[in-house]
A and B are shown apart, each in its own frame.
Chain A
Amino acid sequence: MAKIAFMQLASCWGSHQSLLDAHLSLLHLFPEMDIVYWPAVVDFKMKDLIGYEDKSVDVGFLEGFCRTEQDRANVDIMRKKCKTLVAYGSCAVLGGVPGLANLFSIEELTSRKFLDNEFLDPGATIPDQHVPKFLEFIPDLHKVTKIDVDLVGCPPKTGNIVGLVAAVLGTPGKKVDAKKSMCDICPLKTCLLDKDSLCYGPITAAGDPIGKLAKGYPVLGEFGLTKKIHMKNAEKLFKKITAQPLTREEVQQTVETLMMTLNSVPLGFMVGKADPIRAVKLDPESIRTKTVNEKEIVDFTVEGYPEILNDIIGAAMADLKDNLEYDDSAQTVCTQCERNIVDKEVVRYKRDYEGFPDQEKCLLVQGYVCMGPITKAGCGATCIRANSPCLGCYGPAINVDDYASKAMSLFPSICKDDPENIKKFFSDPAGLFARFCVPTSSLGHKVEEKVEEK
């Protein structure tokens, strides 16, 4: 059983709630987890955490950011006790929405909170009994301590969290039989490949329980590769991949399959640059190809596996390399959005309260500021599906260095309105473009100019 600790720094508990939203999956996860610290759920106290041996906790989750000296001390304790430390949620990874506080000085913040007599009884002072001191500004957590894994999102999608926890626990409750393929145990009457649907069952190890697959969902390599390939179906699969370019949905399936089977990155939503799958787009020159059955495929070998398996994976990679639906070099929220882009120009930006957004058309094209084009994929375009523009809670996409500056250059430049109107519209660029990331963006925090006395 893995020992797990959850720490709440200054935060809202939303990332934890997102884990709890796994609901029935928790029946399988919780019994496998040895939770040694989780104040909102379990009664262990700070003295218990301090008492554990150093590096005795397998994984620690840090939700929130450092607002007080106590938060900083808690980060240090967690680093000391945990082997792996996860920055959990956008506050920890990026600074978060409350990171907007860094646009003000601590004096401005505390005087509104504790000394504003429009709302508060007069005569008050800033609390100082048995409360920790405030830090001057919210620091980038990665500069406070060494973070091993970033799990971004406000909150991270439940599936992303469960995926990470399951990776830590080693897929609890699943039995894998690598001596069989999924085709060997497939309950479907008609093979999906015979219906011209993509299914990676022939190269995937048999697993139990098969869950949604019994209802006709295609296999995505979820139980790893098998050496006992289902030959007849494998040939069908090779033909299917090489017959014509894969559709958008098939590209998604293929990417997920490759990620899960090649183990190049532990989880699809975290980005590793040395990843052979993304290399087909990021570094196409380095890709060697070969010809199999008159089809050009990527020359790729998974050591110790039959040739047909390598051919299938090579064919899948070759398709991704040229497939316009796969743009993983900059996988953004837009790549997961199903809206139509009719135009690529914005006539005029609209405030969110104006009109009612068309549910089919790209929000940005309609004039609503949607951060999708520069935001890292992973949420499944959640907000946009609810007819609301993306605000960027998953942070910068892989090819975006500084989120706020990228937004500042992108959004005004694609609008054909009068520049003065555009300028007026973006009167609060920091609040809009750095909504989730002031502390980690180039903005950082408010700096007062101080005249030095000599």
Chain B
Amino acid sequence: MTPPDKVYEVEPVTRLEGHGGLRLVLSEDGKTVKDVQFNITTTRFFEKLCEGRYAEHVPRITNRICGICPVPHHLAATKSVEAAWNVEIPPAAYKLRQLFMNAKQYSSHLLHFFALAAPDFVYGPFADPGKRNVVQIIKDLPDVGAMALKMMDFGQNLCTAIGGKSVGPIAGIVGGMRNPLTSELRDGFIAQIPAQLEMVKATVDLAKKIVFDYWDVVSQLAVTPTYYCGVAKEVNGKLVHDIYDGDIVFVSPEGEKTIYKPEDYMKAIGERVSKHSYATHTYYRPVGYPEGIYRTNSLAMLNACDEMATPLAEAARKEMFQKILGKDSGVLHHTFAYHWARIIETVGAFESIIKYLKDPEILSTDIKTLDVKPIAGRGVAMVDAPRGNLIYDMTTDAEGICRKLNILVATNHNIAGIEKSVKHAAKQIFEEGILDKIKLPDPMVK
């Protein structure tokens, strides 16, 4: 008889805005990792429930998929209908949407860094679970807490100014946008830029301190080779980081890049049902599963692009690749470098916010084309949500009613990669005893 396994269950996985459990199966002696499962324990069937609805209303339905990233859902859904109906939006609407996306990116990345990630590093991974959270950071480090909240407030208020609401935004419409930005609101945000810039710099310093303090962890734990899927826009032969408008870029574990148009997503991406998760798993179709397991999100975005769109972010990107790889670009597999990459994207989002706020056309009221007519068609649209690649594949009938919808969200893209990297880390910890070999700093707050 085989001895019983030792099973660790994390129920639920916390500091995650979705629903998941983690299941780690070890041999009886606890020295061999047999299986790691990330169980997504619910689903809400959005694709099916959109069938039969007016297609232009889908962006006001699927913006309820995620309360943290409703803006990318709202806009990706809108873009997919525009693609299906061959609608061109006015340039000012394009700029407003870019500003909208970057405002969301800014607040979401900061929420992730301060509320979801930072507690592990501020208190250390072995701290009392009752203390390891942002509420405690606000109590123990009120200045850091206030700074984090002021930054998120700026981003969320900007989302509200453009989208009407920051959660469940509504101002995007097939053909453009519905809610022009007023000069009064715009000036209010411009006035906050200098103070926000100081806070961005302080956040970068804090993030770098954490990365360097935990250098052993960053450079040794869960350095897991996978494929990567990012979004970038080709400009003068270079792939430039862009979260609203770009092509799919797949990066192999060796750093080779392949570009796909969003409408060709099914050539690049396969989708399979796992027995232990209600979220489907995706993989890079040309190499199959499990070889084609890939990851998205900030690190994937930085692996996928040749350069960032803005100067401070580009300098920060080079600094990261130099520090880890000793050269300006390449492919990084360092799971813990996701945090660093996220902060670099935050800098990029902030610079983009400045660029678009200061563009006079951002106040234009010519933000919606009147030339919108439903046709029977299929449209694919893609943006990069804060947690990763987001694809909408919309089919409508001639009346403009949604007849079929396929959505690939960040969770679909990331889940197999998460399992792979957690399994790798578990093997390092339980089989190789890596925690005895790496150096952990004293917690910033004890």
Chain A positions near chain B (C-beta within 8 angstroms) = 8, 10-18, 20-21, 23-24, 26-27, 30-31, 33, 35, 39-47, 67-68, 70-71, 96-98, 100-101, 103-104, 108-110, 112-114, 118-121, 124-132, 154-155, 351-357, 382-383, 385-388, 391, 393, 427-428, 431-432, 435
Number of interface residues of B (CB under 8 A): 91
Judge if B10 is at the interface, Cβ distance under 8 Å.
Answer: yes
Complex CA gap A97/B66 in Å reads 12
B contact residues around A47 at 8 Å (CB): 11
- Output the least CB separation between A101 and chain B (Å): 5
The listed residue (B42, B150, B273, B400) touching A351 by CB distance below 8 A is B400
A15 pairs with B67, CB closer than 8 A: yes
A357 pairs with B11, CB closer than 8 A: no
Closest to A37 in B: B14
B17 pairs with A13, CB closer than 8 A: yes
Judge if B276 is at the interface, Cβ distance under 8 Å.
Answer: yes
Complex CA gap A112/B48 in Å reads 7
Known: A23-B150, A121-B271, A124-B272. A43 touches B167 (CB 8 A): no
The listed residue (B46, B139, B149) touching A98 by CB distance below 8 A is B46
B contact residues around A427 at 8 Å (CB): 399, 401
The listed residue (A41, A130, A432) touching B135 by CB distance below 8 A is A41
A67 pairs with B48, CB closer than 8 A: no
Judge if B173 is at the interface, Cβ distance under 8 Å.
Answer: yes
- Against A, the Cβ 8 Å flags (1 = close, 0 = not) of B90-132 are 0000000000000000000001000110010000000001101
Complex CA gap A236/B144 in Å reads 47
B contact residues around A13 at 8 Å (CB): 17-18, 66-68
- Output the least CB separation between B196 and chain A (Å): 13
Complex CA gap A14/B156 in Å reads 13
- Output the least CB separation between B401 and chain A (Å): 7
Known: A20-B111, A40-B14, A113-B48. A27 touches B275 (CB 8 A): no
Known: A8-B19, A356-B370. A386 touches B165 (CB 8 A): yes
Closest to A424 in B: B399
Judge if B258 is at the interface, Cβ distance under 8 Å.
Answer: no
Judge if B44 is at the interface, Cβ distance under 8 Å.
Answer: yes
Query: Could you jot down 19 A-B contacts, CB within 8 Å?
Result: A10-B42, A13-B66, A18-B67, A21-B156, A23-B149, A27-B138, A27-B149, A30-B139, A43-B15, A46-B12, A120-B272, A125-B273, A127-B276, A132-B41, A352-B173, A352-B174, A386-B164, A387-B164, A388-B179
B11 pairs with A46, CB closer than 8 A: yes
A100 pairs with B370, CB closer than 8 A: no
Complex CA gap A71/B42 in Å reads 9
Closest to B49 in A: A100
Judge if B23 is at the interface, Cβ distance under 8 Å.
Answer: yes
Complex CA gap A387/B177 in Å reads 10
Complex CA gap A33/B152 in Å reads 21
B23 pairs with A130, CB closer than 8 A: yes
- Output the least CB separation between B411 and chain A (Å): 12
B167 pairs with A113, CB closer than 8 A: no
Known: A18-B167, A356-B368, A386-B178. A40 touches B47 (CB 8 A): no
B contact residues around A100 at 8 Å (CB): 49, 53, 61
Known: A24-B153, A40-B14, A353-B372. A103 touches B49 (CB 8 A): yes
Complex CA gap A8/B16 in Å reads 11
B273 pairs with A121, CB closer than 8 A: yes
